[in-house]
């Protein structure tokens, strides 16, 4: 479903060009669960952002279902964000001014889902993640693990095909981290394609495939 070929990402400063990604080639199939690993500064987030259409590569080709997705119009890009992919962040990035319920509901509003359907979909997820009792709380009132669950719920409520997670467990204790990974695993089993960035070898093992980045270059791409 997703194909990257010869992706470069570099930043030009006055006298030199710094490569963050260099000649990255990558193919992701539907139903895949990919873990990206690598030392800090190796370009993991940059790669994920490019896949997530939040950043542009400096050179190379990127296509989704054989359609190039470089230089997309704002409208098309927004469409991809609404319907095709979901994001999870290390810092959760929930909207502080909104309740749990509203945080999960917001992507559906952007998608234009009708109010009644929204209620059903959000209720469904709250139920699934055992958060029904917490639906009217604000993010600051939750533990880190709970916040990340809300983050996942928000990312998947719109039923995206692709889930992108940048160190989803980075701020969590291991028990909570494991719970998050179990959740991702279940989602993958239900058919969702997942790409996660992680520093944790054990959590990387949840993936079906592990990619190791070093200085912007893919050093290893292996089945786990």
Partner 1 sequence: MIKHFFTNIYRNFIHNKVFTVINLTNLVIGFAVFILFSSLISYELSYDKFNTNYKNIYRVQTRQEDSYPTNFCTYSPPAYRYHLMADVPEVEEVLLMREVSGGAKGSGQYFTLPDGSQLYQLNGYWSENSIFDVFSIKLIEGNKSNALTEPNTIAISETLSKKLFPEGNALGKQVVVGKRFPVSVSAVYADFPQNSDLKATYLVSMPTYPVLSGEPTYSENWTSISFDNYVLLKNGADPKLVDSKIKDAFKDVKNFEKSFPYLHPLSKLHISPNSQSDMIIGLAILSLAAILVLILACVNYVNLSLANSTQRSTEIGIKKVIGSSKKLIATQFLAETVLHTLISTTLALFVAQASFPLLNRILNKNIDFTLWNNAPLLIFIFLASLLVGVLSGLYPSLVISAYNPVKVLKGKIFSNGGNSISIKKILVAAQFSISLFMLIVSFILFNHVNFILNKDLGFDAKNILYTEINPRDKMPFETVKTAILQHPEIADISFSSTIPFVGNIGGYVTWDGAGQDEKVMISRNYVNYDFIPTYNLKMAYGRNFSQEYPADNKGCIINETALKIFGWSDPIGKQIYLEGKPFPVIGVVKDFHPYSVHNPIPTYIMFLNSNVISGSTLLSVRFTGDEQKARALVARELGNVFPNYPFEFKDFSVAFYLDAAIPFWQSMKRMFMFFSVVTLVISTIGLFGLILFTVKRRTKEIGVRKVLGSSVGSIYWQLSTEVISMLGFAILVGCPAAIYIYKTMPGAYKEPLSIAAFFVSVALVAIIALLTISYHVLKIAVSNPVKALRYE
43 binds ligand ATP (CB under 6 A): yes
**DSSP code string of 187-198:** HHHTT-EEEEE-
State in angstroms the smallest separation of the CB of 90 from ligand ATP: 8
b/e burial code for range 22-55 (CB count within 10 A of at least 16 → b)? bebebebeeebbbbbbbeeebbbbbbbbbbbbeb
The item of partner 1, ligand ATP, Mg ion, none sharing an interface with residue 11, based on CB under 5 to 8 Å by kind, is ligand ATP
Pure H helices in the chain: 44-51, 74-83, 100-111, 115-128, 144-156, 174-189, 201-204
Q: Is 165 in the site for ligand ATP (CB under 6 A)?
A: no
Q: Which of the listed partners (partner 1, ligand ATP, Mg ion, none) does 42 bind, with a CB threshold of 5 to 8 Å by partner kind?
A: ligand ATP
Residue 95 C-beta: closest distance to ligand ATP, Å = 23
Give the range of 42-50, 123-131, 151-159, 171-179 binding ligand ATP by CB under 6 A: 42-50
Residue 64 or 204 having the CB closest to partner 1 = 64
Sign of CA dihedral 154, 164, 162, 180: negative
Note whether 169 binds ligand ATP by CB under 6 A. Answer: no
Q: How far is the C-alpha of 31 from the C-alpha of 65, rounded, in Å?
A: 14
Candidate list 6, 11, 78, 124; residue touching ligand ATP; CB under 6 A: 11
Interacting residue with ligand ATP among 2, 4, 24, 44 (CB under 6 A):
44
Nearer to partner 1, 139 or 177 (CB): 139
What does the alpha-carbon distance between residue 122 and residue 153 come to, in Å, rounded to a whole number?
Answer: 8
Cβ of 77: how many Cβ atoms within 10 Å? 14
Q: Give the footprint of Mg ion on this chain (CB under 5 A).
A: 45
> Apex CA 162: angle with CA 185 and CA 177, to 5°?
35
- What gap in Å lies between CA 192 and CA 211, rounded to an integer? 19
Number of residues that bind partner 1 (CB under 8 A): 28
- 44/134 with CB nearer ligand ATP: 44
| Contact present, 186 and 129 (Cβ < 8 Å) | no
137 touches partner 1 (CB under 8 A): no
Binds ligand ATP by CB under 6 A, chosen from 24, 37, 42, 146: 42
Q: Kindly list the residues in this chain that would bind ligand ATP in the complex (CB under 6 A).
A: 11, 20, 38, 40-46
């Amino acid at each position: 479903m997703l194909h990257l070929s010869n992706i470069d990402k570099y930043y030009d400063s006055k006298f030199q060009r710094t490569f963050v990604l260099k000649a990255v080639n990558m193919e992701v199939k539907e139903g895949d669960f990919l873990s990206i690993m690598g030392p800090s500064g190796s370009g993991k987030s940059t790669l994920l952002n490019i896949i997530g259409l939040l950043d542009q590569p400096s050179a190379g080709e990127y296509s989704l279902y054989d359609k190039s997705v470089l230089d997309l119009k704002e409208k098309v890009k927004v469409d991809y964000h609404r319907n095709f992919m979901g994001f999870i962040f290390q810092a959760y990035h929930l909207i502080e001014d909104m309740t749990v319920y509203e945080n999960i509901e917001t992507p559906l509003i952007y998608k234009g889902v009708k109010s009644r359907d929204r209620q059903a979909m959000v209720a469904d997820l709250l139920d699934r993640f055992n958060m029904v009792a917490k639906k009217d709380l604000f993010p600051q009132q939750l533990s880190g693990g709970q916040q990340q669950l809300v983050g996942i719920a928000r990312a998947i409520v719109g039923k995206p095909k692709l889930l992108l997670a940048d160190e989803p467990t980075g701020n969590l204790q291991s028990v909570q981290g494991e719970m998050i990974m179990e959740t991702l695993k279940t989602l993958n089993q239900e058919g969702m394609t997942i790409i996660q960035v992680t520093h944790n070898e054990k959590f990387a093992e949840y993936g079906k495939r592990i990619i190791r980045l070093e200085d912007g270059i893919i050093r290893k791409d292996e089945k786990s």
